[in-house]
């Protein structure tokens, strides 16, 4: 697992359909694109259209060997497509072929360590001393032991895994995890040096899962992550950094309403502001190098919100048209040049920085940005505030949420609220 969260995608492997969906929804709540599939023949295409791809292998009721082969085949297929985060979703009552599926994925991906954290405290599923408890009752003493198809007769996870895998298990208590909190990699290295291959983590409360998620975030060692929807709910920010990501606003509108909204957002949110001068707007120079450098420098300082605009006041608008008149351009030609420049700027900045969210205000800016990105349209997802819809670009594999706003529309805080939305 790399320290740099380079926007690799996440693949989740599930053994039944409901488990696939209850895990996938944990990432949808973070505004990520989530797809659940039952056929891997179009795996490459499905990955293009998703941030998180959940694959249901329907292997829970297979034999051990069939489940192993399904995971081995899928693991090899994933390996051939690139570098992905991999999460094996398990049933929190340990029904199915957990050990065989872990073996299949580890063998295919050539992984040496599996991190296994099956608890979901919010739903009464906890792990203590390496044993599974349902509402404080040991697993083997619950109705799970009488399941007609996959009865679970043990409570200790290492014994359940041992029925299908010969890999060495090691139990990690919450106290031991806390001991290594300042350097989780030392814990992983120590366990690896002991010959441990499957690390089984205790979790009594949600904060324990948060600590395990922090270990995953800091790990330098490639891992297979295995858990229920409980651990998955703590991973969106770690894998994708949505809430810490960038928000860009591009405005070419000359509407007083939009300029008022921009100034309100600047006062409340203190974003980085780039007012494009009239000489640049009316030229054919699309060299964005200096802009890239300036924004890079601001991001290094911790800035997350940015506004790029051709006008913050009526005076800015006047200067554009005065210069256009000197150059012999009419108002329509000048407006076209401004829109073209701002559309190209938006496209280049989106390609370069891949922000979490983008607001395009002004119809000409929006359509020119879409064209410049070689997209075919926008798939609408929701309405952020009245009159400001959001969605994803169609025909392009871009993760950014795209929102649009007409120039003369919206309350004073419309742009500010949109910027807030992108960071929640």
Residue 2 has pLDDT above 50, yes or no: no
Eight-state DSSP code of residue 296: H
Based on the domain organization, do 206 and 252 belong to the same domain? no
Choose the most confident range, by mean pLDDT, from 21-30, 165-174, 396-405.
165-174
What separation, in Å, do the N-terminal and C-terminal C-alpha atoms of the chain show?
A: 25
Is the confidence at residue 95, as pLDDT, over 70?
yes
The pair phi, psi for residue 260, each rounded to 5°, is -65, -40
Distances (CA, A) of 245 to 95, 262, 295, 346: 38, 20, 14, 17
Quickly count: other Cβ atoms within 10 Å of residue 320's Cβ: 24
pLDDT of the residue at 296: 83
Higher-confidence position of 167 and 331: 167
Residue 299 vs residue 280, higher pLDDT: 280
Lowest pLDDT segment from 299-303, 310-314, 389-393: 299-303
pLDDT in tens, 137-149: 999 999 988 888 8
CATH number of the domain at 260, please: 3.40.980.20
148 or 244: which carries more pLDDT confidence? Answer: 148
Q: What is the pLDDT of residue 346?
A: 94
Q: Which of 216, 240, 264 is the last residue of a domain?
A: 240
Q: Do residue 211 and residue 103 come from a single domain?
A: yes
Out of 220, 240, 260, pick the residue that ends a domain. Answer: 240
Asked if residue 302 belongs to a domain, the reply is: yes
217 and 89: one domain? Answer: yes
Same domain for 314 and 221? no
Residue 273: inside a domain, yes or no?
yes
Q: Where are the alpha helices (DSSP H) in 134-277?
A: 157-162, 174-179, 184-193, 206-218, 229-232, 236-240, 256-269
| Residue 2 within any structural domain of the chain | no
What is the mean predicted confidence (pLDDT) over 333-341? Answer: 93
Average pLDDT over residues 55-75: 97
Average pLDDT, the chain: 91
5 in any annotated domain: no
Q: Are residues 160 and 226 in the same domain?
A: yes
Residue 84 has pLDDT above 90, yes or no: no
Task: Grade residue 245 by pLDDT with cuts at 50, 70 and 90.
Answer: low
The upper half-sphere exposure of residue 200, i.e. CA atoms within 13 Å in the direction of its Cβ, equals 23
Query: Given the structure tokens 């000359």, which residue do they identify?
Result: 254
Question: What is the layout of strands, in order, in the sheet containing 131-134?
Answer: 125-128, 131-134, 137-138
CATH code of residue 190: 3.40.50.10840
pLDDT score recorded for residue 284 = 82
Using CB atoms within 10 Å of the CB of residue 331, give its burial: 0 to 12 exposed, 13 to 18 middle, 19+ buried: exposed
Name the band, by pLDDT with cuts 50, 70 and 90, for residue 319.
very high
pLDDT of the residue at 242: 47
pLDDT at 244: 52
Residue 386 shares a structural domain with residue 323: yes
% of the chain residues with pLDDT over 70: 96
Residue 216 lies in a domain: yes
Kindly tell me if the per-residue pLDDT of 73 is higher than 90.
yes
* Position 56 in a domain: yes
Q: How confident is the model at residue 311 (pLDDT cuts 50, 70, 90)?
A: very high
What's the domain count of the chain? 2
Regarding whether 259 and 144 lie in a shared domain, the answer is no
Q: Would you say residue 4 has pLDDT above 60?
A: no
pLDDT at residue 31 is higher than 50 = yes
CB 360 within 8 A of CB 366: yes
**Is residue 311, in this structure, part of any structural domain at all?**
yes
SS3 of 315-354: HHHHHHHHHHHHCCCCHHHHHHHHHHHHHHHHHHHHHHHC
- Classify residue 300 by burial, with Cβ atoms within 10 Å: 0-12, 13-18, 19+: exposed
User: Among 99, 87, 101, 118, which residue's Cα sits nearest to residue 224?
Assistant: 87
- Asked if residue 408 and residue 370 are part of one domain, the reply reads yes
**Same domain? 230 vs 250:** no
Residue where a domain stops, chosen among 181, 206, 240: 240
Q: What is the pLDDT of residue 241?
A: 60
Sign of the C-alpha dihedral computed for residues 312, 317, 322 and 323 taken in this order: positive
Looking at the fold, whether 208 and 119 belong to one and the same domain comes out as yes
Residues of the domain holding 22: 10-240
Nearest to 279 by CA among 248, 313, 256, 310: 310
Strand, helix or coil for residue 175: helix
4 is a domain residue: no
**Cβ pair 376, 49 in contact under 8 A:** no
Tokens 């000048």 correspond to what residue? 334
If one compares 354 and 17, the residue with the highest pLDDT of the two is: 17
Task: Looking at the structure, tell me whether residues 199 and 260 fall in a common domain.
Answer: no
In a shared domain, residues 395 and 299: yes
pLDDT in tens, 176-186: 999 998 899 99
Q: Is 284 exposed, middle or buried (0-12, 13-18, 19+ CB in 10 A)?
A: exposed
What are the strands of the beta sheet with 357-361, ordered from one edge?
272-275, 305-309, 247-251, 357-361, 401-405, 388-394, 377-385
* Residue scoring higher pLDDT (408 or 418): 418
């Amino acid at each position: 697992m790399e320290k740099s969260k380079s926007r690799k995608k996440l693949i989740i492997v599930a053994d039944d359909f409901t488990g696939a969906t209850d895990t996938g929804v944990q990432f949808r709540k973070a505004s990520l694109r989530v797809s659940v599939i039952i056929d891997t023949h179009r795996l490459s295409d499905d990955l293009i259209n998703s941030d998180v791809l959940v694959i249901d292998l329907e292997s829970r009721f297979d034999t051990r060997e069939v489940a192993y082969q399904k995971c081995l085949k899928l693991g090899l297929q994933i390996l051939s497509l690139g570098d992905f985060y991999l999460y094996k979703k398990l049933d929190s009552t340990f029904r199915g072929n957990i050990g065989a599926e872990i073996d299949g994925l580890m063998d295919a991906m050539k992984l040496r360590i599996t991190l296994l954290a099956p608890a979901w405290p919010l739903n009464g599923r906890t792990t203590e001393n390496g044993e599974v408890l349902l509402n404080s009752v040991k697993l083997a003493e619950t109705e799970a032991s009488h399941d007609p198809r996959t009865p679970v007769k043990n409570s200790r996870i290492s014994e359940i895994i041992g029925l299908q895998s010969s890999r060495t298990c090691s139990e990690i208590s919450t106290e031991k995890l806390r001991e290594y909190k300042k350097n989780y990699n030392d814990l992983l290295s120590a366990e690896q040096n002991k010959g441990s291959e499957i690390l089984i983590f205790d979790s009594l409360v949600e904060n324990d899962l948060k600590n395990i998620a922090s270990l995953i975030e800091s790990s330098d060692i490639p891992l297979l992550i295995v858990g229920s929807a409980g651990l998955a709910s703590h991973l969106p920010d770690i894998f994708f950094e949505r809430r810490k990501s960038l928000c860009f606003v591009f405005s070419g509108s000359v509407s007083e309403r939009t300029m008022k909204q921009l100034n309100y957002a600047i006062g409340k949110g203190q974003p980085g502001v780039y007012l494009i001068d009239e000489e640049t707007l009316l030229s054919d120079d699309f060299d964005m190098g200096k802009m890239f450098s300036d924004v890079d420098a601001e991001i290094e300082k911790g800035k997350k919100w940015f506004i790029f605009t051709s006008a913050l006041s009526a005076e800015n608008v006047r200067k554009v048209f005065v210069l256009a008149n000197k150059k012999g351009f009419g108002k329509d030609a000048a407006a076209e040049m401004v829109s073209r420049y701002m559309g190209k700027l938006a496209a280049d900045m989106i390609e370069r920085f891949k922000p979490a969210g983008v607001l395009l205000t002004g119809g000409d800016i929006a359509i020119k940005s879409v064209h410049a990105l070689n997209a075919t349209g926008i798939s609408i997802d929701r309405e952020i505030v009245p009159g400001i819809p959001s969605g994803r670009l169609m025909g392009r594999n871009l993760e950014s949420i795209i929102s649009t706003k007409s120039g003369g529309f919206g309350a004073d805080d419309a742009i500010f609220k949109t910027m807030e939305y992108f960071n929640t």
